Chains A and B, each alone.
Chain A
Amino acid sequence: MSDVRTRSGPRWHTEPDRVEVGGAELALRRDGAGEPLLYLHGHWLTRCWSPFHARLAERADVIAPEAPGFGDSPCPPWVTDRTDVVLLYRALLDALGLDRVHLAGHGLGAWLAADFAILNPGRVKSLTVLAPFGLRVPGEPIADVFIADPATYDDLYFSGEPVEGVVPGPGTPELGGPEEFAARYGDMGGAARLMWDFRYDLKLERRLPPLGLPALVVTADDDRVVPPAHGARWAELLGARSHALPGGHAFPVQHPERTADLITDFLTEAHDA
């Protein structure tokens, strides 16, 4: 990915640390103090420490790695599915000396968080899913983010209220120049490796209920990527509370403080319980 890295980078760009785990190099951003929270990005919003991350870090030890093939993490050729990524995240926790953590993720990251919990239940204190990908809800398909026209992003991701300088996915060369375009194209390719073949995992229907973890589902009132029925189904399967915030699929950047506070309040509660 070194060719496509830019000096300026996306909005809120920061240089990551780099950690060698499990035969891969993961870019890692970490800040804050408190309960450890492994936060997993989705198919976009990489290479940054956004106000949402910063707000979380006011009350938690936020560990935000980038999956192979996303942002600043190179992709070894053997990383071809979500299990590979989950096992690398587990190796990361081992390397950081963290036994049990809280897990949260956005979109595809929420799906990966669920996979992590299913494969490593003993390592997870709680599970928070934000506008999660991963379920098939009949008649309510998640939008095809891989074919979306960049001209529709303000509508699709931000429900008409864009946050300046935050452009997901493959935009036109004019949106951030060729370097940013290529970087976003790379992220989308990373996501396609993990979820192109099936945009959902039917096994989640059977594998989520037995988790028995403290769980939180957060959705947006006007999410045009993940229909509301998905949040509801996740809440049922996880036996979780569900919260709806205003905004679109990009609610963690549209409403960073409210989103972060919902999560950290929940962590405190889960910890006290």
Chain B
Amino acid sequence: MPNRLQFHVFHLMPYPHIPPGEDLESTWVTIPNTHFEPHVAHRLYTDNLEQLVACERFGFDGIIVNEHHQNAFGTINAPNVWAAYLAAKTSKVKIGVIGNALPLHQNPLRVAEEIAMLDIVSGGRIISGHVRGMGAEYHSSGMNPTTSKDRFWEAHDLIMKAWTEPGPFTWQGEHYDIEHVNPWPRPLQQPHPPIWMPGTGSTDTIDEVAKRRFSYMQTTTSNWVTKRSFALFREICREKYGYEPSPAQLGRVVPTYVAETDEQARREFMPHVMWFFRTGLKIPMHHLMPPGYNSAESMLRTIKGRQAAGVKNFWEMSYEELIDQGYIVVGSPQTVIEAYERMIEDYGLGMAISAGGPLGSMPHWMVMKNLQIMAEEVIPHFREPDGRADHLRLPRPAPETHAEMAAQYGRPKLAPVVRLADGTDLPTALGHIPEIAEGADTRPPAARV
């Protein structure tokens, strides 16, 4: 039996040493990077990476990094670099890059190649998230927001084809024209690493993810918006695509803090949550929605929907509202367990993301405390009796040792050879053995007539 809930720790790696949101136009695009002190960041980044690495020993299912540019909210510009670091420092935990912002890059094959490299070096532990990039990042990159959605899907399709169909082939698209697509390496997980796509609940996104049988990750929203999104996802899977989604297709970013008692948890979490929502998420509409990033029709629907539902901007919400509406979970282990039980029962949550760990300006010690109590007091409740993450009960995509490799696969299909002047092939693995190399004429073979 699979566990009842997966737990993933998502690190945005914010840079919290900035003025309060009230004094800022935005934490994106225009916030002067003179606030960024590199020596402070050295300490922050190191703490952040240490927290993610620690998740393996605590026993989480996965650790997640993402791509954001030119902001204080999340300072991982190059998530594949961080994933490489994490792959080197861990050996069991899944590593999610959720995700690479496909349209922000000129050549999607770069993503296909880097994820394949990471998948191979990590022994098949990579989850590949594909995202459009925040609207603000179009202001910061010069990329065109009006073609971003089209470029996203074309880039995604190109990456999937590059991973799953033999190369070389020619790609002639609307936005990418590549004569020779033939990436080396190919990913270890077959047919490809798991794909996650985040969304805020829009029907279009949910439909596209359901169609492809990928995992849908609801970004930070309230309980009822999540419930509506998941219901829609299941309905579309069943009625339009004729299958029952697995729980692992329904993930939710739900910042969670657990401590010894409800009161203690609320006190400890409060300032860091409020920094995150009040300052970290301070993104005015003119940064968040560059023209053409959405259609006018979709913009109108969104505004009217938010007004009808009374949805406030993140930075306008109180701590109590965030708790009451289920944007965050905070409390004693029992309270947190009950909150997750309700999410499983109410809307079939399968993956809790940001489930314990860092948020906003939280200091290193508090992150580690949160992780440890989550791991020891909450996670086991949702696990099978062995307490292991699901993927650790499955065979690994690649053997861990040379001996296992040799035992399970024998030798590679082809052995490297040197063709000798007489047309015979000298195996390079044995070419230094005198009896075998004796008399080898290493001049090029005679040209064929």
Contacts and interface: CB of A to CB of B under 8 A. Distances in A.
B1 interface: no
B303 A178 contact: yes
Contacts of B303: 173, 178, 181-182
Interface bracket on B: 20 to 34
Contact of B292 (A3, A4, A192): A192
B292 A189 contact: yes
Interface bracket on A: 20 to 34
B291 A191 contact: yes
Nearest to A195: B144
Contact of B291 (A80, A146, A178): A146
Query: Chain A contact residues: over half helix, strand or loop, or mixed?
Result: helix
Contacts of A193: 144, 146, 292
A182 B302 CA distance: 10
Interface string B294-319: 11110110011001000000000000
Interface in B231-249: none
A179 interface: yes
Nearest to A188: B291
A37 interface: no
A33 interface: no
B295 A170 contact: no
B125 interface: no
Nearest to B287: A147
- Of A80, A144, A185, A188, the most chain B CB neighbours within 10 A belong to A185
B295 A196 contact: no
A183 interface: yes
Nearest to A148: B286
Given A185-B291, A188-B292, A189-B291, A196 B145 contact: yes
Interface in A142-181: 144, 146-150, 170, 172-173, 178-179, 181
B350 to A, nearest CB: 35
B25 interface: yes
B25 A182 contact: no
21 contacts: A3-B297, A4-B296, A147-B287, A170-B285, A173-B307, A178-B307, A181-B300, A182-B296, A182-B297, A182-B300, A183-B296, A185-B294, A186-B295, A186-B296, A188-B292, A189-B145, A192-B291, A196-B145, A196-B146, A197-B142, A197-B144
Interface of A: 1, 3-4, 80, 144, 146-150, 170, 172-173, 178-179, 181-183, 185-186, 188-193, 196-197
Question: Lowest 5 CB-CB distances: which A-B pairs, in order?
Answer: A186-B296, A188-B291, A189-B292, A182-B300, A192-B291
